[in-house]
Structure 1
Amino acid sequence: MKKDWKYIFYLGGAVMIYVAFNLLAPRQLDWRVTYYHKHKIPFGGYALNTLVHDQFSDRDIVQNNETLYELYDSVHTPMNLLIVASSFSPGDEEVQAMLGNVALGGHALLSVGSLYGKLSDTLGIDITNYFYEDGYNQYITDTKDSTYFRFSNAGLPDTAHYIYPRKNMGERISVTNDSLDVRVAAVNDLGMAVTVTIPWGKGRIILNSTPMIFTNAYILSGENHRFAATTLSYLPDNDLLWTEFYELGRMEAQTPLRYILTTPALRWAYFITILALLLFILFEAKRRQRTIPIIKPVANTTLEFVRTIGDLYYQHGDHKDIAEKLITYWLEHVRTRYWLSTTKLDDAFTEALIRKSGKPADDVRALVNVVRLIQSRPDVALDRLIDLNDRIEKFNLS
């Protein structure tokens, strides 16, 4: 058990060193653009979340990651809608659900960096980046250049200029449908529209092309929170639906365990089970058994036996006996493979062996003649024995 505690101590020390390095290491800023209402990173939406709850403090605020169709499926009264996203392209059913609620008297504030699809076609409005248009592309090379926004609505007393870095505020709104009473609410320093209001039925759509104004970095910069707050004030004092689906998606766990992880009781049971298993492995699952001896496999002594017998015959010098055994082995091979009788090694046997074996006729006749000669002699010379062995091996291998 002392050895176990030693390894646990080493592991704990390594974990503590790793944690210390992570705590003491300089933190890198997360520059992702999320607009997420819980993110405190520069381009998160934590400050916007605070601003929204301040302005609609007496109203119900529903925050989720559902589509417009799902949001309005159970809503039949006019409500406010807030969407902040890098791009926005809802489907036909979603556009119908949103416009239907707006027509009844609802309001929708859409702050999106690009707009395309069904809603863009219906409203006759495009959002483009003027950095890539002729006459304006020089601005993209100057990363320190600043722009300002101001409200152009005559009904607003706010005439201040709100300064922003131009590199993050290059989108503008273009109106292609003259049939709608589109009113410009705010413009940039080049006179381009960045916020417009569009009446629709009894309600109104507020469209903003610079969603970065709602991020932590710019709401908390100087007086810029006033520009974001004034833009929000175009929404009347009513209940608010705020969906982050169009920037973040569902934000659901993709694992098959998502049902367990999204249910508090099951999630706690799952984590407790994992912790119990880890503790069991750590303290109780030590492998305890005696060392298994290594048993060497039985050696194959067949070759050693054959070599020993061969040495005995060779040392004894009985070449005739060795030749007879070679002949016996060869004749057995002929009987079992070619189905020939080896009782008489005459010419008929020789011709039959030539036909069935397909061996060269001269080699077969020479081998049969050597066998006959050895069988007729009482003694066999060493060179004759070697010749017999060579001919048999040639016959078997050819």
Structure 2
Amino acid sequence: MQTKHFIKYIVCSFLFLQIIGCKKTNWTENYREKEKSPFGTFIIKNEANTLFEGEDFVFLNTHIYDYLFENYETTSADFGNYILIKRNAIKLNEESIRDVLSFVADGNNAFLSLNYFSDELQKSLEFTSNNLDKNLLSIATLKERKGTFKIKDATKNKVSFYFDRNIKRHYFITYNDTTTTVLGTHKIGEEELPNFLKIQYGKGAVFVHTNPVVFTNYFLLKDTYSYTEQVFSYLPSSTILWDPHTANSKYLRNIEEDKGSVFSFFLRHQSLTWFLFTTLIGLFLFLFFNAKRKQRAIPVIPKPENTTVAFTQTISSLYLKEQNHKNLVDKKITYFLEKVRTKYLLQTHNLNQEFIEKLALKSDNDFSKTKYLVNTIITLNKKQECSKEELLVLHKMIDNFFKNKRNGDTK
């Protein structure tokens, strides 16, 4: 690596960016190789030939899985270094991770600097990480995140570097001591925690780094550029496979289609797999306990209503509303005579003296009152119209007759 050339390029890049930097600055972390904004990776990608002077540089236009598949014969052993600097390795699924690690096991190397490491990658390399600021997206909030990194130089001494913004508190929690070497740390609070590891894998090694932002244009234009030199000095001289992580795999897409499983995305991530299993178990238990036979509800049978009274009241109300008192008088007389025929077994076609005597005797009513009631019936029956008062008098007389009231007379 030629440090002088690297510094010269940095100065030229700074002047170039100053000239084109008249428009509003984009402070989002995009990690794009064509982006000249502060947190793009335009400088490091274009300076890779200087950083790795004398080595072949391959800028991948295809997915890494497709490249290794198509160039298997030339990349199988001691071929080069695979480099990926991004927010996350979203295009590296389970199949492509296995292929990259197989590439490493053959004697090659991989450098991965990410804000997020997938469950599959952590499981395969036997480490766990924690990002305390993984949910921070605000530019203003990230600006307040500062950090001090330490890294071992060529003489195995630790050198400190201060980064003044956008340093997420991302560090490694656990790792396999027998295969892992801690190359760098990040000071969080009062504790120095590992943020740069070398993990031996087969004949090669995987270098994992938790803060890709330090390799962006912003920090390469500051005095922290030498940190990048120190990090990449650990990679052996070999062909560089630089992955912009933009292309989709034409082979992996076919593999996923052949699997034909709607749960393939869930099964690629351990946390989502557990979520899926827990949901399915909960659904099974719900169906099991609710599938028991339940007694059908006993229907409520309403008590039959006696509508005769209501019907009678309705009819009477109708007649009263029409003020047809003669009609009601006739019906009261009909009702009375029908009751006499059924209760006392008397013929009512001739209401004479003999009828009155028999009726008074059988009903146990006073003769004079019985005669007065019968004469009233005969009189009202002959009339064409009746008054309300006559209707009420007739009703009261019939009612008293059947109640057997003698006004003090003994039976």
Q: Give the TM-score of the pair, scaled to structure 2.
A: 0.48
Give the number of the structure whose alpha-carbon radius of gyration is greater: 2
